[in-house]
Amino acid sequence: MSGDVSPDGVGSIEAAAFGRYLVGREPTAELRARYLEACRVLFAETPPDGALRLARRSPWTIGPLDAAAALIRPESPLRKRLLTMAAVLETSPAHADEFLPRPMGAWALAGTALRVAWGCAWKLAIGAPLLAWAGRLDGRHGR
């Protein structure tokens, strides 16, 4: 795989970190293997960019980088891989409920919307400079 995962274990670490980010717990070995196989098929010709390398090295950056990339670089390797992991998790019985809507009243919905908006704003404020910095790393890696 071009610039990618498995031989050195990076892919399994990436899968675990993405799972923790998306559903709050590490996916099973079977789900990590599904993710790695999907990446092998979908991204064989796509080398990791600076944002993906940064997220692999420092998992705390995944949320901010995701928020920034969603607005600034939606086709980035990081976003594509996060969406791939989300699809793997969403289609597994163990995690499907995490992706389904929950019934709530109007006040709870308003509170949730405010909490999510505030969280997105903070992640974007941190993620935009991180994404720009990670993009500068691409120049040092011959991209």
List the pLDDT tens digit at each of the 143 positions of the chain.
Answer: 344 444 446 788 899 999 999 999 999 999 999 999 999 999 988 888 999 999 999 999 999 999 999 999 999 999 999 999 999 999 988 887 777 778 889 999 899 899 989 988 999 999 999 999 998 877 654 44
Full residue range of the structural domain in which residue 50 is found: 6-140
Residue 1 lies in a domain: no
Residue 118 in domain = yes
Q: Using alpha carbons, select from 139, 142, 118, 123 the residue that is nearest to residue 55.
A: 123
Residue 109 belongs to some domain of the structure:
yes
As a whole number of Å, the end-to-end CA separation of the chain is 17
Neighbour tally for 134: CB within 10 Å? 24
Question: For the chain, how many structural domains are there in total?
Answer: 1
The answer to whether residues 63 and 56 touch, using CB atoms and an 8 Å cutoff, is: no
Q: How many CB atoms lie under 10 A from the CB of residue 26?
A: 14
Dist. CA 128–CA 34, nearest whole Å: 30
